[in-house]
Amino acid sequence: MASLRKLALAGAALVAAGGVAFWLLTQPDRLDAAALASLGAGDATRGEQVFWASGCASCHAAPGASGQDRLVLAGGERFATPFGTFVAPNISQHESDGIGRWSAQDLANAMMRGVSPDGRHYYPAFPYTSYARMRVEDVADLYAFMQTLPAVEGDAGPHELRFPFTLRRGLGLWKLLNLDPEPAVALDNPSQQVARGQYLVEGPGHCGECHTPRNAIGGLDKGRWLAGAAAFEGQGNIDNITAGEGGIGDWSEAEIAALLESGFTPDFDSVGGSMASVVRNMAQLPASDREAIAAYLKAIPAHPNAY
């Protein structure tokens, strides 16, 4: 009897220890003070470039919006995934429905650590595992630019997820496995141009979020970086953009850069779906950035199609 009680006590202690461990492991982890200290006053003009490089409008503006409407960040677009449907939030400057009350620190913690101002985890449909590789200074510039954008009324509404994905706290464990600000691929002595391309593709551009296959829990398989994937959201496959079989090894750097500007493949098909929106973002960048992306795509390891 006594031993049974001991066992029960030990069991309870284990559960409690497990609970404490879970609590500690899943704690939202913000940027450290040193990182936040380099958040100076941003430059809105430079921030506009960061805005287009980061593709904010592709999810947070109305689908198919063009011109000034791409700066109306009311959210509401729905993304159906195996975990449920994610709804892009309002990130306009509206004080209650958008992010009008956020500080630059709030934006940096959200983008680079996936933590909300009130200390909760964001779901990785928001590509913070890529944005984690951004320079804090770029986020400061982006913040300055976003403050020039309109406030739009209207809460986009909650995500519609299946249990247990409704439990945000568990994302802390997911982040331990998948949130890593280190480069996705190791490049041997990259040129300045290739390094710029790496920053744009792996960081703000978040190309890997669609072009890299995911494992069972939705983490990116960096061993097959940019090798194409079954669409995680929507139907069909996302193309392999490495030089491996089924990829774009026979495209020149100029052809890759031309696609990013005009949407035309070397064969003069015009890309569609969400890539058309990406092209409209990329077309806003200086030609040197599109060329840097092309140079990087030529420098990364080649993989055969991953889908």
Partner 1 sequence: MKLFVLAAAALSLTVASVSADPIEQRKKNMEERRDVLRIIGPVAQGNADFDAAVVADALARLDANAKAAADVEALWPEGSGSGDTKATAAIWTDFDAFKAENGKYEQAVAAAVAAAPQDLAAFQAVFGPIGASCGSCHENYRSK
What residue ranges bind partner 1 (CB under 8 A)? 63-64, 66, 234-236, 258, 262-264, 267-277, 279-280
CB nearer to partner 1: pick between 132 and 210: 210
Nearest distance, CB of residue 278 and partner 1, angstroms: 10
Nearest distance, CB of residue 238 and partner 1, angstroms: 8
Q: Where are the beta strands (DSSP E) in the chain?
A: 78-81, 84-87, 160-161, 229-230, 237-238
Nearest distance, CB of residue 152 and partner 1, angstroms: 21
**Would residue 32 be called left, alpha or beta, if left means φ above 0 and alpha means ψ between -120 and 50 degrees?**
beta
CB nearer to partner 1: pick between 188 and 250: 250
> Which residue type is seen at 40?
G
The torsion of the CA quartet 87, 88, 94, 97, rounded to 10 degrees, works out to: 20
Both tokens of 293, joined, read 């992306």
Nearest distance, CB of residue 275 and partner 1, angstroms: 7
Do residues 141 and 56 lie in contact, with contact meaning Cβ atoms separated by under 8 Å? no
Nearest distance, CB of residue 98 and partner 1, angstroms: 25
CB nearer to partner 1: pick between 184 and 260: 260
Residues 117 and 108: their CA atoms lie apart, in Å, by 10
Nearest distance, CB of residue 272 and partner 1, angstroms: 3
Please state the φ and ψ torsions of residue 282, each to the nearest 5 degrees. Answer: -65, -30
Residues 133 and 143: their CA atoms lie apart, in Å, by 17
Nearest distance, CB of residue 234 and partner 1, angstroms: 7
Nearest distance, CB of residue 289 and partner 1, angstroms: 18
Rg (CA), the chain: 21
CB nearer to partner 1: pick between 32 and 250: 250
Nearest distance, CB of residue 261 and partner 1, angstroms: 9
CB nearer to partner 1: pick between 50 and 238: 238
Q: How far is CA 86 from CA 12, 51, 119, in A?
A: 37, 22, 20
CB nearer to partner 1: pick between 110 and 238: 238
Q: Please report how many Cα atoms fall inside a 13 Å half-sphere around the Cα of residue 29, on the Cβ side.
A: 16
CB nearer to partner 1: pick between 222 and 280: 280
CB nearer to partner 1: pick between 195 and 258: 258
Strand order in the sheet with 78-81: 78-81, 84-87, 160-161
Which of 144, 145, 142, 110 lies closest to 129 in space, CA to CA? 110
> Which residue type is seen at 151?
A
CB nearer to partner 1: pick between 67 and 286: 67
> Which residue type is seen at 177?
L
Residues 103 and 93: their CA atoms lie apart, in Å, by 11
